[in-house]
Structure 1
Amino acid sequence: MFADAAVYGLALYAVGRASSLKLHAAHLPGLLQMLLALSVLSEVVRRFFLCSEDVSGLMTGFRVQALTANIACLTIIHREKISGSHMNANWIFSPNDFIANYGAILAGVLVWPVSSYPDMVIGFIIGFIVLNGA
Structure 2
Amino acid sequence: MLNGAMFVVEAVASLFAGSISLQADALDFLGDAANYAVGLTVLGMAVRWRTRAAIGKGLVMGTFGLYVAGNTVWHALSDGVPRSDLMSGIGLLALAINVGVALLLFRHRTGDANRLSVWLCTRNDAIANVAVILAGAGVWLTGTHWPDIAVAAVIAYLGLTSAGQVLRQARLDNRAIGLSAFAE
SS at match of 1:101: helix
Give the alignment's Cα RMSD to 1 decimal. 2.0
TM-score with structure 2 setting the length:
0.64
Q: CA deviation at 1:95?
A: 1.7
Q: CA deviation at 1:113?
A: 2.8
Residue 45 (1) aligns with residue 68 (2): no
Q: CA deviation at 1:87?
A: 0.6
Question: Could you list the runs of 5+ residues in structure 2 that have no partner in the other structure?
Answer: 1-28, 164-184
Q: CA deviation at 1:55?
A: 2.4
Task: State the AA in 2 paired with 1:124.
Answer: A
Deviations 1:60-119, CA, capped at 9 Å, x for gaps? 233223222221222111245784321122233322222112111111121123121111
Task: State the AA in 2 paired with 1:52.
Answer: G
| Partner in structure 2 of residue 130 of structure 1 | 159
Count of equivalent residues: 134
Deviations 1:11-52, CA, capped at 9 Å, x for gaps? 122221222221122122212211221122122211111113
Match of 1:116 among 145, 160, 166: 145
Task: State the AA in 2 paired with 1:18.
Answer: A
Match of 1:74 among 102, 109, 120: 102
Provide the rounded CA distance (Å) in 2 between the counterparts of 1:36 and 1:62.
Answer: 21
1:34-113 matches, cutoff 5 A: 34-79=62-107, 83-113=111-141
Task: State the AA in 1 paired with 2:160.
Answer: L
Question: Quick check: 2:108–2:115 contact (8 Å CA) kept in 1?
Answer: no
TM-score with structure 1 setting the length:
0.85
SS at match of 1:112: helix
Question: Could you list the runs of 5+ residues in structure 1 that have no partner in the other structure?
Answer: none
Range with greater deviation from structure 2 (71-80 or 11-20): 71-80
Residue 24 (1) aligns with residue 52 (2): yes
SS at match of 1:52: coil
SS at match of 2:153: helix
Identity of aligned residues (%): 29
| Partner in structure 1 of residue 166 of structure 2 | none
Larger CA Rg, structure 1 vs 2: 2
Task: State the AA in 2 paired with 1:93.
Answer: C
| Partner in structure 1 of residue 25 of structure 2 | none
